[in-house]
Structure 1
Amino acid sequence: MIEPTSEADARFREWMRDNLTRAAQHFGLKITGKPRFGWLDRSISAPARRDDRTYWLRVVSEDPQWTHLDFWTGNRDANAITGVSKPYVLDVYEWAEWRQQRAEIMTRLSGRRCSPTDVLRTSITLPEHWWTELHRTISVISATPTHRVNADQDKVTQRIRERFGGQVDPAVDRWDTVHGDLHWANLMRPEFGLLDWELWGRGPAGTDAATLLCYSLLIPDVAERVRTLFADVLASPTGRIAQLYVVARLLRRIDGGDFPDLAKPLAQHARSLLGR
């Protein structure tokens, strides 16, 4: 876990811990593990217990101007997706204090995350049935109807144009429902499970495969396994656009200081997609 870099960051984290405590008290839960902070410390979560049952408790804090967007209710909306291994939201509690807070009590998956970070940095061995379940889960998600939006044509065009200019036509000809944040810290093992459903919605077909591939590039054998598993969609015209969109999005995060070790592999991957 990244430690806070300033006194203000430390104060914010302490405030988020207080929010987690308030949510636990509201739901009658006892926190049973070390809290985990999400991206930019905008969320905090921890295992919790009530009587003899275990849960996962998460609190996200956001500026009220953004809470009308799809991500705000994504985890609960994802209850509509059944037949896959994922957490289900059991109850929600919101309150306003400086920002808007949303607490969600969820079912807890067994096992552990495949990686402590989004990017896979060490080799991992997963059983064949894990990969089969990954592929099946993405197929179930892609076939799920929804009005939620992960990325539309304007967003795809903007990201690709600002990174690659006019080198490629960014038009998407196939849209599916996507998880939208398929990285290694959101995947569970030894039994397959998929966490964090804030961003799911319609997006370019192949977005999830492209995302996992990009987050795997530091471990070539795993990247090749992902590429082989999703070969059909990744080799399609929209799959190519999805990969360039994901590369552009992740390079934008690298510009902001995230995972600099992924910059060179992403640039090389983009060059291969652009044919040079």
Structure 2
Amino acid sequence: MVGSVHAAVDLRHVPADPVLVRVEQGLNVRLHRDTLVRKRRSLGARTERGTWVRIERRAFERIGQQGWNGTEAAAVLLGVVMPRWYQGVTWREADEPVMWRADELELVTSQPVGTGARVREDPGLPEAWWAGLNGSLDALSSQHTYRIATPDTERITQELVTGKLGEVFPAVTDTRVGKWVPAHGDLTWANVMGPGFCLIDWEDWGMAPRGLDAVTLWGNALAVPGLAARVYHERQRDLESRDGKLMALYFLSKIVGPHAREDDPLLVPARREAARLAADLQT
């Protein structure tokens, strides 16, 4: 059934070759199997023509009203440093409420700054990297789209923000978002390349509260105080706006909330920042 909920599949632990063959046929490319990168929800590999193919599997309930052609739709954005999009192919998994999508993109030679969403040490990024980040985020936020950002594959709405903040920070009673702007929606350290700046993985971009992207990058650097301070300095206008503070609490609620882990290296700085922001937003 279209509305049914499908069990998640970790693509790091399932056979990939049948999918790779389907992608090769659909895009008329040959994938280099020795370059295959496996993630929980996606696969990626180089092609014989010097491009990159990203493949994702997503259940119907995670696709939503706007579809999931984010990478293709992002090709119209101006002034944002990202891989060029060339072509894509989509198909439904037989007898399952699941879709597959593969996009052929420009090959980016820089590596992700982080091996995961967070970083544990300062990567020593050059000044040109920070200029690329600022130019791209400023250009992105000045445009418009009818898409809604889906961080963690969930549409970000006023109701979602209010519900999460009310659950973890009930003393913050005014949770109204004042300004919505286009955002990447998943601006973690795994999705920014360095030392040459480039922003990848655009499947979740769309309108979001101001500051979401800056907060995501800052929050995932809290275990490296110097790096977090640099992000804060570079994106100060976003992070010190009221909407930016709400988004910071929204991000921190996932760390300090009911599922907090005492061994999480972000927990101590997250609690400190959450206390500061909650007090500020109550005044």
Q: What's the TM-score bracket when you normalise by the shorter of the two chains?
A: 0.7 to 0.9
Distance 1:216 1:62, change over 3 A: same
Of Structure 1 and Structure 2, which has the larger fraction of its residues in helix?
Answer: 1
| Aligned equivalent of 2:130 | 131
Partner of 1:179: 184
Give the aligned residue type for 2:88: V
Is residue 139 of structure 2 the alignment partner of residue 143 of structure 1? no
SS at match of 1:275: helix
Q: Which of 200, 209, 212 matches 1:204?
A: 209
Q: Does 1:219 align with 2:220?
A: no
CA contact (8 A) 2:27 2:88 kept: no
Superposed CA offset, 1:191-231 (max 9, x none): 11001111111111111111110011011100000011111
1:268 matches 2:272:
yes
Do the aligned partners of 2:86 and 2:105 also contact (CA within 8 Å) in 1?
Answer: yes
Aligned match for 1:238, one of 237, 243, 255: 243
Relative to structure 1, is the Cα distance of residues 91 and 193 closer, same or farther in structure 2, using a 3 angstrom cutoff?
A: same
Q: What CA distance in whole angstroms lies between the structure 2 residues aligned with 1:11 and 1:275?
A: 42
Q: CA deviation at 1:166?
A: 3.5
Task: Give the direction of change, closer, same or farther, for the CA distance of 1:236–1:105 in structure 2 (3 Å limit).
Answer: same
Provide the rounded CA distance (Å) in 2 between the counterparts of 1:255 and 1:265.
Answer: 16
For residues 125-168 of structure 1, the C-alpha deviation after alignment (integer angstroms, 9 at most, x for no partner) is 11112101101100011011111112221121122112222334
Gaps of 5+ in 2: 1-7, 150-155
Q: Is 1:159 matched with 2:164? A: yes
CA drift of 1:67 comes to: 2.9
Preserved contact between residue 71 and residue 199 of structure 1 (Cα < 8 Å): no
CA distance in 2, matches of 1:10, 1:203: 28
TM-score with structure 2 setting the length: 0.84
C-alpha displacement of 1:9: 6.7
Flag the 1:269–1:256 CA change in 2: closer, same or farther, 3 A: closer
Letter in 2 for 1:18: P
Q: Answer yes or no: is the 8 Å Cα contact 1:152–1:202 preserved in 2.
A: no
Long gaps (5+) in structure 1? 1-7
Q: 1:31 to 1:119 in 2, by over 3 A?
A: same
Does the CA-based 8 Å contact 1:168-1:274 persist in structure 2?
no
Name the SS of the counterpart of 2:48 in structure 1.
strand
Q: How much does 1:104 deviate?
A: 1.2
- Between 229-238 and 80-89, the greater mean CA deviation after superposition: 80-89
The amino acid across from 2:101 in the alignment is R
Count of residue pairs brought into register by the alignment: 262
Once the two structures are TM-superposed, the CA of residue 249 in structure 1 deviates from its matched residue by 4.2
How far does the alpha carbon of each residue in 1:257-276 deviate from its partner, in whole angstroms, 9 at most, with x for none? 8x933233322221121139
Structure 1 residue 21: Cα displacement: 3.2
2:253 paired residue number: 248
* Structure 1 residue 96 corresponds to structure 2 residue 92: yes
2:84 paired with 1:85: no
Q: Distance in 1 between matches of 2:249 and 2:190?
A: 22
Q: 2:63 aligns with which of 59, 63, 67?
A: 67
- Please tell me the residue identity of whatever aligns with 1:58: R
Query: How far apart are the structure 2 equivalents of 1:81 and 1:11?
Result: 30
CA distance in 2, matches of 1:171, 1:29: 48
TM-score (structure 1 length as normaliser): 0.86
Q: Which string of whole-angstrom CA distances, capped at 9 and with x for unpartnered residues, describes residues 150-190 of structure 1? A: 22211211221122223342111121111111111111112
Q: CA deviation at 1:250?
A: 5.2
**Separation in 2 of the partners of 1:148 and 1:10?**
27
Q: Does 1:193 align with 2:198?
A: yes
Worse-superposed segment, 148-157 or 192-201: 148-157
CA 1:266–1:135 in structure 2 vs 1: closer, same or farther (change >3 Å)?
same
Could you tell me how far apart the structure 2 residues matched to 1:17 and 1:246 are?
Answer: 37
Question: What SS is found at the alignment partner of 1:124?
Answer: coil
Structure 1 residues 103, 250: closer, same or farther in 2, change over 3 A? farther
